[in-house]
């Protein structure tokens, strides 16, 4: 089917009645608790000119090929991954001067948060596009969190453990107390008291009264009391006071995070408790006997933005107020700039990709152009060739900032306090990337989970706002009762926005996508330093955007706990671990060498120039380039080819062994057959000589020997065994066909008939022999036939015996000849 032109061959007026029953066969494609709510048949995916069935479920938009009945990945997208969708009508200009009657295409454009733009085509007068559009309007923007698919489905087999317990285990590891066993009830009631020489775990926020977006447990300096912490929190935006995110086990340097200080418009507001808390982050070196270490305050914002926030009561610190400190601005733009940049990147990829949403041939599809005229497969798409998206510029700035922070901690043993405005977007990006560079544990699969749960989930990155999904209600006291109602009966769904285009909410932004992009850039620079692969990052990001699991719902730990998310939803980490049960799974990095990179990574600035991430950026626009864009992808392709060749070699080796065994067996059989033939020939020659001697002896007594078969017709010339002529020394030549005709059970008749008297008497030799051997000989001479001797005149003696073996040997005598 080639685009819209092939629609005319279908009877669209009957499409609903003919294919209405197709939804009955969808069960094999649906997940647990997934239900079809609307469906369109004969829909065309414009990007690839494929026709199929488009279904809207309570979890995703599902597109099945009409020919193969396979799920088409490009046309299948989770509902929460859809950023916006809209109706479009395109007039075909194939018939000039008839615009009123010209055929028009009913299109539905779907824009995803994962850089895909897909367009579906519907035939007019079928009302299928309206049904699909209305279903998307109801289900892509649920008004309450209880309508989310993950809460309707429940935990299933991916049961989530207590995330607060996992966070506490990570805290104990950082403090060098990893061997301690802790109980969840001590975490909940705030009675846990663990510390080392410099830091301690405080439970002052166990009820989230200090800061609603911080975790219940915090690592703070041991020298600071809980009362001082409460006072210091008043000087920071949203109460997000400076706390420790990571600490160096040897030097004592720390990575700390907070929100902006409330210094005001004149930048003259101060807090003694805040200054004391920040100073406590920089203990003396050499076990408290050396000089106090330096403190860097890294403000992720551009300087002008920090000054502008002063008008709203925020701002930035003054180095004169914080002992031995230095203020650094990284110039990372806000969430709105990142959202616009990501949208421009998506449009650029769709325009120049091989599966453009307009269905037209792009530069790559024509084979004449690539980005900037370079070679896409060699990753030559750089910052300057991606139009005005500036996405890679933003990624580079974030990477450079994280590398600078890691270098200060590792090389100078300095402590770094990182913040932006609220301390949950750019701050989280920088702190988690710097921790990834400093700590090899975070570069493992288990450590990556701990890092994400600590810096992104526990410290309150607002995932619901950034992903554009419902957050927890203000009053969540009856959340369990509401969840039971939503799972027991289908609640009415209404659109959360009035616009049919579902434009993106003002607070949504791909901050987490950008951070995972930064991780992929580090993985490209250090391919042997990470246990996980780029394929793992893609699958992980897809799971986060799909909201199939409850880990990334809500905006904070407090909201997830109030809604009981961990108890009523599936866990993404259990699901991913279930996928990689085999050590050869694509989530494992084949180049990983923990002994080679068991130390902090300090990349030079030149190595931080980012490139497109093929497995994510190009998988929808240029799927062939995405599959072969990375070193690991090429290595896996070579490994698959090698595995196939090794398998073919093993099969060939097995066949060779079978042939050699068969040849050996045949050789042994031939040797046995040869020995049998030699033995049979010797036996035949001996028997022939014996038979010849017996015949001569019988003839010497005056008898003739006649051989015949008693089972053959006398008229048949083949039934008569040829006589052995006197004087012959070799077996008679017998036609080999005689052996086939002769029955093995036939008896051979031997007739011995006395010779004629005249012949006997006229034969002097026979007379002499007879007279010599006859026991009845008298002086008068031979008395035959009156005496009882062996000559019986015309009478005969019939001897009947089974000469089967002898008969077969006689037939084959001609093989051996005469000696």
Average pLDDT of span 336-353: 92
- Residue 375 CB neighbour total at 10 angstroms: 11
Catalytic residue among 211, 420, 554, 571: 420
Q: Which of 71-85, 147-161, 356-370, 745-759 has the highest mean pLDDT?
A: 71-85
Q: Is the dihedral of CA 280, 282, 285, 291 positive or negative?
A: negative
Phi, psi of 470 (to 5 degrees): -60, 145
Q: Are 810 and 728 in contact (CB under 8 A)?
A: no
| Overall average pLDDT of the 190-198 stretch | 85
Position with higher pLDDT, 758 vs 28: 28
662-671 pLDDT per residue, tens: 999 999 999 9
CA atoms of 471 and 315, how far apart (whole Å)? 28
What is the DSSP code (8-state) at residue 94? Answer: S
The pLDDT of residue 753 is above 90: no
| Residue-wise burial string across 56-68, b where 16 or more C-beta atoms lie within 10 A, e elsewhere | bbbbbbbbbbbee
Look over the chain and give the mean of its residue pLDDT values, rounded to a whole number.
80
| Dihedral pair phi/psi, residue 87, rounded to 5° | -90, 145
pLDDT at 357: 82
Q: Strands 295-299, 415-419: parallel, antiparallel or unpaired by DSSP? A: parallel
CA distance 807 to 317: 121
**Looking at residue 146, what is its pLDDT?**
93
User: pLDDT tens for residues 526-549?
Assistant: 999 999 999 999 999 999 999 999
Q: Which of 284-288, 535-539, 724-728 has the lowest mean pLDDT?
A: 724-728
Provide, rounded to the nearest whole percent, the portion of the chain with pLDDT above 70. Answer: 73
Report the alpha-carbon distance of residue 228 to residue 811 in Å, rounded: 120
Per the listing, tokens 């990337």 go with 433
User: Is the model's pLDDT at 504 over the cut of 50?
Assistant: no
Number of CB atoms found within 10 A of residue 587's CB:
20
Bridge partners of residue 38, in order along the sequence:
56
What integer is the mean pLDDT of 611-617? 92
pLDDT for 90 = 75
Tens digits of residue pLDDT in 56-102 = 999 999 999 999 999 999 999 999 999 999 998 776 654 444 444 44
* Residue 740: predicted pLDDT: 45
- Cα–Cα dist 406/733, whole Å: 104
Cite the DSSP H helix spans in 413-510. Answer: 426-438, 445-451, 463-467, 479-488
Structure tokens at 272: 């003694």
List strand residue ranges (DSSP E) for 502-602, in order: none
In this predicted model, what pLDDT tens digit does every residue of 290-334 receive, in sequence order?
677 899 999 999 999 999 999 999 999 999 999 899 999 999 999
Q: Are 342 and 573 in contact (CB under 8 A)?
A: no
Backbone angles phi, psi at 570, to 5 degrees: -80, 160
Contact between 55 and 26 (Cβ < 8 Å): yes
The enclosing H or E element of 111 equals: strand 104-112
Give the H or E element holding residue 577. helix 572-579
- CA 109 – CA 497 distance, rounded (Å): 18
Average pLDDT over residues 740-760: 55
Average confidence (pLDDT) over 135-163: 90
What pLDDT score does 53 carry? 95
What are the residues whose beta carbons fall under 8 Å from the beta carbon of 222, sequence distance 6 or more? Answer: 195, 196, 197, 198, 199, 200
Going across the sheet that includes 104-112, the strands are: 77-78, 60-65, 50-57, 36-45, 117-122, 104-112, 82-91
Q: Is 561 helix (H, G, I), strand (E, B) or coil?
A: helix
The widest CA-to-CA distance across the chain, in whole angstroms, is 174
Across the range 447-456, mean pLDDT stands at: 98
Exposure b/e, 716-735, CB count within 10 A at least 16 = b: eeebebeebeeeeeebeebe
Tell me: pLDDT of 716 over 80: no
Q: Is the pLDDT of residue 574 over 60?
A: yes
Kindly tell me if the per-residue pLDDT of 804 is higher than 50. yes
SS (H, E, C) 269-314: CCCHHHHHHHHHCCCEHHHHCCCECCEEEEECCCHHHHHHHHHHCC
Catalytic-residue membership of 153: no
**What is the pLDDT confidence band of residue 588, given thresholds at 50, 70 and 90?**
very high
What pLDDT is recorded for position 597?
A: 92
Confidence tier at 9 by pLDDT (50, 70, 90): very low
Cα–Cα dist 74/70, whole Å: 12
Confidence of residue 372 (pLDDT cuts 50, 70, 90): very low
pLDDT at 232: 96
Q: pLDDT tier at 791 (50, 70, 90 boundaries)? A: very low
Q: What is the pLDDT of residues 679-708, one digit of tens each?
A: 999 999 999 888 888 877 777 776 777 766
31-40, 743-752, 799-808: range with lowest mean pLDDT: 799-808
**pLDDT of the residue at 764:** 55
- What is the model's pLDDT at position 770? 57
Which of the two residues, 477 and 348, has the higher pLDDT score? 348
Computed on alpha carbons and rounded to an integer, the radius of gyration of the chain in Å comes to 48
Residue 558 is predicted with a pLDDT of 96
The residue assigned the tokens 């497995």 is: 615
Residues 733, 726: Cα–Cα separation, whole Å: 15
In this predicted structure, what is the pLDDT of residue 182?
75
Closest CA to 297 of 252, 235, 254: 254
pTM confidence score: 0.75
The distance of Cα 662 from the centroid of its chain, to the nearest Å, equals: 42
**Residue 145 confidence (pLDDT) above 90:** yes
DSSP code, position 565: H
Residues paired with 705 in a beta bridge: 752
């Amino acid at each position: 089917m080639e685009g819209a032109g092939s629609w005319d061959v279908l009877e669209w007026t009957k499409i609903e009645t003919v294919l209405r029953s197709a939804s009955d066969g969808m069960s094999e494609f649906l997940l647990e608790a997934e239900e079809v709510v609307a469906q369109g048949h004969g829909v065309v995916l414009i990007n690839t000119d494929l026709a199929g069935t488009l279904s809207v479920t309570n979890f995703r938009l599902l597109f099945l090929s009409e020919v193969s009945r396979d799920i088409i990945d490009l046309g299948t997208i989770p509902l929460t991954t859809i950023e916006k969708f809209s109706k479009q009508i395109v007039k075909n200009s194939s018939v000039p001067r008839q615009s009123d009657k010209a055929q028009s295409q009913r299109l539905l454009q779907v824009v995803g948060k994962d850089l895909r733009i897909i367009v579906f085509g519907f035939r007019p007068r079928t009302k299928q596009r309206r049904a699909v559009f209305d279903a998307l309007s109801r289900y892509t923007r649920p008004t309450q969190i209880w309508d989310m698919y993950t809460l309707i489905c429940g935990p299933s087999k991916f049961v989530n453990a207590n995330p607060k317990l996992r966070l506490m285990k990570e805290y104990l590891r950082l403090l060098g107390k990893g061997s301690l066993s802790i109980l969840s009830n001590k975490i909940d009631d705030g009675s846990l008291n663990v510390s080392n020489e410099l830091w301690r775990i405080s439970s002052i926020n166990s009820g989230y009264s200090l800061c609603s977006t911080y975790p219940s447990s915090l690592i703070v300096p041991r020298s600071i009391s809980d009362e001082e912490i409460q006072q210091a929190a008043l000087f920071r935006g949203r109460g997000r006071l400076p706390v420790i995110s990571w600490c160096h086990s040897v030097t004592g340097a720390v990575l700390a995070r907070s929100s902006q200080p409330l210094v005001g418009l004149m930048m003259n507001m101060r807090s003694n408790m805040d200054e004391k808390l920040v100073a406590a982050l920089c203990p003396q070196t050499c076990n408290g006997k050396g000089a106090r270490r330096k403190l860097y305050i890294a403000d992720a914002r551009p300087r002008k933005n920090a000054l502008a926030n002063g008008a709203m009561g925020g701002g930035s610190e003054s180095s004169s107020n914080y002992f031995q400190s230095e203020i650094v601005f990284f110039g990372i733009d806000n969430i709105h700039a990142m959202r616009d940049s990501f949208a421009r990147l998506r449009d650029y990829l769709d325009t120049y990709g091989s599966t453009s949403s307009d269905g037209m041939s792009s530069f790559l599809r024509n084979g004449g152009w690539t980005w900037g005229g370079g070679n896409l497969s060699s990753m030559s798409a750089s910052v300057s060739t991606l139009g005005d998206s500036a996405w890679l510029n933003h990624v580079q700035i974030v990477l450079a900032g994280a590398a600078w922070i890691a270098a200060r901690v590792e090389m100078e043993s300095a402590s770094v306090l990182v913040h932006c405005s609220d301390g949950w977007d750019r701050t989280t990006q920088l702190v988690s990337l710097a921790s990834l560079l400093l700590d090899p544990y975070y570069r493992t699969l288990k450590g990556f989970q701990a890092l994400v749960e600590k810096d992104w989930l526990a410290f309150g990155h607002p995932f619901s706002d950034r992903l554009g999904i419902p957050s927890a209600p203000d009053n969540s006291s009856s959340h369990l009762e509401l969840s039971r109602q939503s799972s027991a009966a289908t609640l009415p769904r209404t659109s959360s926005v009035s616009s049919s285009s579902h434009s993106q909410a003002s607070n949504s932004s791909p901050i987490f996508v950008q951070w995972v992009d930064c991780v992929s850039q580090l993985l490209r620079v250090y391919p042997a330093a990470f246990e996980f692969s780029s394929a793992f990052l893609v699958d992980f990001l897809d799971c986060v955007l799909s909201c199939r699991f409850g880990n990334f719902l809500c905006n904070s730990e407090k909201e997830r706990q109030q809604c009981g998310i961990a108890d009523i939803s599936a866990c993404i980490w259990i699901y991913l671990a279930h996928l990689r049960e085999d050590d050869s799974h694509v989530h494992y990095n084949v180049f990983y060498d923990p002994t080679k990179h068991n130390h902090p990574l300090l990349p030079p600035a030149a190595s931080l120039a980012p490139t497109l991430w093929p497995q994510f950026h190009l998988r929808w626009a240029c799927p062939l380039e995405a599959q072969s864009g990375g070193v690991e992808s090429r290595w896996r392709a070579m490994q698959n080819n090698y595995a196939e060749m090794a398998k073919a070699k093993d099969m060939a080796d097995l066949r060779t062994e079978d042939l050699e065994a068969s040849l050996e067996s045949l050789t042994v059989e031939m040797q046995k057959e040869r020995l049998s033939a030699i033995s049979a020939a010797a036996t035949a020659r001996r028997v022939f000589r014996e038979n010849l001697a017996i015949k001569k002896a019988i003839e010497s007594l005056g008898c003739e020997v006649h051989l015949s078969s008693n089972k053959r017709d006398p008229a048949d010339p083949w039934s008569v065994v040829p006589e052995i002529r006197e004087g012959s020394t070799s077996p008679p030549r017998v036609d080999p066909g005689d052996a086939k005709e002769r029955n093995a059970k036939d008896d051979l008749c031997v007739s011995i008939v006395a010779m004629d008297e005249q012949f006997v008497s006229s034969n002097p030799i026979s007379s002499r022999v007879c007279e010599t051997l006859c026991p009845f000989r008298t002086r008068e001479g031979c008395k035959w036939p009156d005496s009882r001797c062996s000559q019986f005149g015309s009478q005969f003696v019939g001897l009947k015996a089974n000469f089967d073996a002898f008969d077969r040997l006689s037939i084959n005598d001609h093989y051996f000849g005469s000696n």
